[in-house]
Amino acid sequence: MKRIVKSFTFWFIVLAILGILSHQIGQDSKSIVLIGFNPFLNILADNVITREFMNSGLVVTCGTIAEKISIYWYIGSFLTMVLYGCILDLLKCLIIKIRKTRK
């Protein structure tokens, strides 16, 4: 359990869930936390073709200005946060291995 709590992936999953929940209840009415702070989703939102694809999924009601959002945005947010956490955990393992080999 201690090892899980120390991983970046765990904390990025927690952040993804909190971001989705805050968007769902209306605290992120302009999708700034859900999409704006996520570089990959922000790039997808700026492109017309990918934005249309992301908006084509099952529509979920939420407390935002538009009052609805495609579930693909939530899935994308969760998956990219897991990806970011895995990348940081991999970098952390590599740094630890490099430090051990230098001793």
> Six-digit token pair at 15?
């952040």
Q: What is the distance between the alpha carbons of residues 88 and 22, in angstroms, rounded to a whole number?
A: 24
The contacts of residue 2 (CB under 8 Å, 6+ apart) are none
Do residues 81 and 37 touch, judged by C-beta distance below 8 A?
Answer: no
Q: What confidence category does residue 96 fall into, taking pLDDT thresholds of 50, 70 and 90?
A: very high
Q: What is the distance between the alpha carbons of residues 20 and 25, in angstroms, rounded to a whole number?
A: 9
> Six-digit token pair at 31?
């999708």
The dihedrals phi and psi of 11, each to the nearest 5 degrees, come to -70, -30
Which pTM value belongs to this model?
0.87
- What is the chain's mean pLDDT, rounded? 91
Q: What is the distance between the alpha carbons of residues 94 and 71, in angstroms, rounded to a whole number?
A: 35
Does residue 26 register a pLDDT over 80? yes
